[in-house]
Amino acid sequence: MIYASDFRKGITFEINGEPHVVLDFQHVKPGKGAAFVRTKYKNILSGATREEAFNPDDKFPKAHIETRKMQYLYNDGELYYFMDPETYDQVPLSFDLVEDAIKFMRENDEAMVKFFQGKAFIVEAENFVNLTVIETEPGVKGNTATNVTKAATVETGAVVQVPIFIEAGEKIQIDTRSGEYLGRAK
Say whether both 132 and 121 belong to one domain. no
Determine the residue type at 58. Answer: D
User: Which of 114, 100, 32, 134 lies closest to 68 in space, CA to CA?
Assistant: 114
Say whether both 160 and 113 belong to one domain. no
CATH code of 40's domain = 2.30.30.30
CATH code of 179's domain = 2.40.50.140
How far, in Å, CA of 99 to CA of 185, rounded? 24
At residue 152, the pLDDT reads 94
* pLDDT tens over the chain, length 186 residues: 999 999 988 888 999 888 998 989 999 999 888 999 999 998 988 888 999 999 999 999 998 889 999 999 999 989 999 999 999 999 999 998 898 899 999 999 999 998 888 888 889 899 999 999 999 988 766 666 667 889 999 999 999 999 988 899 999 999 998 899 999 988
> How are the residues of the chain apportioned to helix, strand and coil, as percentages rounded to the nearest 5?
5, 50, 40
Say whether both 21 and 55 belong to one domain. yes
Say whether both 170 and 133 belong to one domain. yes
At residue 47, the pLDDT reads 80
Determine the residue type at 74. Answer: Y
What is the domain count for the chain? Answer: 3
How far, in Å, CA of 66 to CA of 181, rounded? 30
Domain edge (last residue) among 10, 33, 60: 60
Domain edge (last residue) among 125, 142, 167: 125
Q: Tell me the residue range of the domain where 163 lies.
A: 128-184
At residue 126, the pLDDT reads 92
At residue 105, the pLDDT reads 94
Say whether both 116 and 76 belong to one domain. yes
Say whether both 45 and 73 belong to one domain. no
At residue 14, the pLDDT reads 92
Dihedral, 28, 30, 36, 40 alpha carbons, nearest 10: -40
At residue 97, the pLDDT reads 85
Say whether both 48 and 74 belong to one domain. no
